[in-house]
């Protein structure tokens, strides 16, 4: 094969055939004492639902027993919690049922 570089570029015959390559992998020689590693089994991370449930439980424990800094009502006018009232599990349940749980968590005394 002869290739020459000239002012206008490279000229000549170029062999574009792929070289002969074997596509079979060599088997490891276990007798040589070489270490063979197996892939590690990685446990699945907890599902989104499990994480959300755990976070929700921690939030509930955090607000339980605290005092509300304001009156919170449901959209139908039903009282969820009054200002200064202690937050109980019943108050938390009412807040969740009426879509006011986040508002409740933002309205607690330190």
Residue 55 lies in a domain: yes
Q: What is the pLDDT of residue 51?
A: 82
Q: What is the pLDDT of residues 7-66, one digit of tens each?
A: 666 566 656 666 665 555 555 555 566 666 677 777 766 777 888 888 888 989 999 999
Residue 19 lies in a domain: no
Residue 85 lies in a domain: yes
Q: What is the pLDDT of residue 54?
A: 87
* Segments forming the whole domain that contains residue 86: 48-105
Q: What is the pLDDT of residues 66-110, one digit of tens each?
A: 999 999 999 999 999 999 999 999 999 999 999 999 999 999 987
Q: Give the residues across from 79 on adjacent strands.
A: 73
Q: Looking at the 3D structure of the chain, how many domains does it have? A: 1
Residue 21 lies in a domain: no
| Residue 86 CB coordination number (10 Å) | 11
Residue 96 lies in a domain: yes
Residue 78 lies in a domain: yes
State the pTM of this model.
0.54
Residue 67 near residue 86, CB atoms below 8 Å: yes
């Amino acid at each position: 094969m002869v290739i020459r570089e000239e002012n206008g570029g490279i000229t000549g015959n170029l062999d574009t055939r792929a070289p002969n390559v074997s596509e079979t992998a060599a088997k490891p020689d276990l007798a040589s004492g070489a270490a063979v590693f197996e892939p590690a089994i990685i446990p699945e991370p907890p599902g989104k639902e499990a994480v959300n449930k755990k976070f929700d439980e921690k939030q509930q424990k955090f607000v339980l027993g605290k005092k509300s800094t304001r009156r919170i009502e449901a959209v139908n006018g039903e009282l969820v919690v009054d200002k200064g009232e202690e937050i109980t599990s019943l108050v938390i349940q009412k807040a969740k049922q009426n879509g006011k749980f986040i508002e409740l968590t933002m309205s607690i005394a330190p």
